[in-house]
Amino acid sequence: MSGPLPTVHVMTVATSVAAEVAMDVTVRTSDLAEAAGNVVRLLPPRLLDPVLAGLLVRAEPDGLVLAGTDRDRAVRLRRDATTRLAGAALVPARPLAATARALDAPDVRLVVEGSRLAVRTPGARFALPLLDLDAHPGVPEPPEVVGRVPGSLLAAAALPVAGAASRDDTVPAFTGLRIRAEGERLVLVATDRYRMAVASLSWEPVRGGLDVLLPSALVAEVARQVSAASTVEVRRTGSGADRVAVSWSGTTVACGVLDSPFPDESRYLPSTVDCEVLVDADRLAAAVRRVAPYAGPFSSVRLEVGDDALRVQGSDPASGEAEETVPATVDGDPVARVFRARYLGEALSAFSGSAVRLGMRGVHQASRITAAEPAANGVDLRYVVMPIRPR
């Protein structure tokens, strides 16, 4: 024995039920479609194990629970339902989600009939094969709450930050999004090494600390789903913090933390700059978008600071040259820096609707983009973009 076995709280699935599975429950079609679609979007798209590709459908006396797991991520959603016969079944997740989405009847009935889960509406029956419920690992109970945050704020902070993470799975640390509690602020950070986004927002700490690295694609999907929730609870396992979960409006999503070193963002956030330009984010983004087809093989646009203006320039052997002038307020030495068009565009889109301060430093030092005025929702977003070598 190398130590005590970890305690895993498993969603109770009485094994005696498996021999004679039964269920009869009616749910609003829109609820089922939204819930099944959300589970599918929160779990990895391709799971070879058919049992893990299954959706656990559980009719309880007071509602319907959908759950799924790939052994790392675990998702559970509860929706109101009218249960005639409580029970559980495991069925292929994607066909159920596709069927629920395509239905136009207002309500749908889920009934276990022999070796099938029948999805019934007036005039139609879709019969999904029952998978082996006993072989399913179950979905663990969520760990304890460490703090709470409004869904709209979490969405506003997490979506732009997740956009700065890498999609390259060969360097796992940079696919992660770091979430750290600092007293009554929650700090979110992601970087792909060429740019970094840092957001901080107020939250309500409950107990314990939080400093974890999570898959940024999962955080982005959660952010899209929580935006209408008044409260999102953030949870983590006892001391080791090896699992994190978030809960809102009957949904719980849990996953293991990424175990990778992550840079300290404060080293990359410049406190002083050589030149600061105050400019409208959308006007500058539109200019970058128009110049981008002329940005050449390395997709590089040049920003040149002039008197009361920022000039956006591109040059390409085939397309020709482009230059657009955007009105700006300039403070400091006029400089010129070259950026990748996409990184600049994505950074600016995070500040859409507001004016930004673009702070530039040396040729090999990151430039900083911040909102000119504090955001009304209190989310403080800072973006850092590395210039590329001038042409």
Using CB under 8 A, list all residues that contact its own copies.
Answer: 92, 95, 98-99, 102-104, 116, 123-129, 286-287, 289-290, 293-294, 318-326
Q: Which is nearer to its own copies, 172 or 293 (CB)?
A: 293
The set of residues, in sequence order, having a beta carbon less than 8 Å from that of 233 and lying 6+ positions away, is: 145, 147, 148, 246, 247, 248
Whether the CA torsion 33, 38, 44, 50 is positive or negative: it is: negative
Give me the least distance between CB of 391 and its own copies, in Å please. Answer: 17
Q: Which is nearer to its own copies, 96 or 213 (CB)?
A: 96
Longest dimension (CA), the chain: 79
Q: Which is nearer to its own copies, 184 or 321 (CB)?
A: 321
The two three-digit tokens of residue 11, written as one number: 């969603």
Give me the least distance between CB of 83 and its own copies, in Å please. Answer: 22
Tracing tokens 């107020």 back to the chain, one arrives at 202
The set of residues, in sequence order, having a beta carbon less than 8 Å from that of 85 and lying 6+ positions away, is: 22, 23, 24, 25, 59
Give me the least distance between CB of 307 and its own copies, in Å please. Answer: 14
Contact 153, 185 (CB under 8 A): no
Give me the least distance between CB of 125 and its own copies, in Å please. Answer: 5
Tracing tokens 């500040």 back to the chain, one arrives at 351
Q: Which is nearer to its own copies, 124 or 206 (CB)?
A: 124
- How many CB atoms are closer than 10 A to CB 115? 9
Give me the least distance between CB of 87 and its own copies, in Å please. Answer: 18
The amino acid at residue 306 is: G
**Torsion-angle region of 250 (φ positive above 0: left; ψ -120 to 50: alpha; else: beta):** left
Give me the least distance between CB of 91 and its own copies, in Å please. Answer: 8
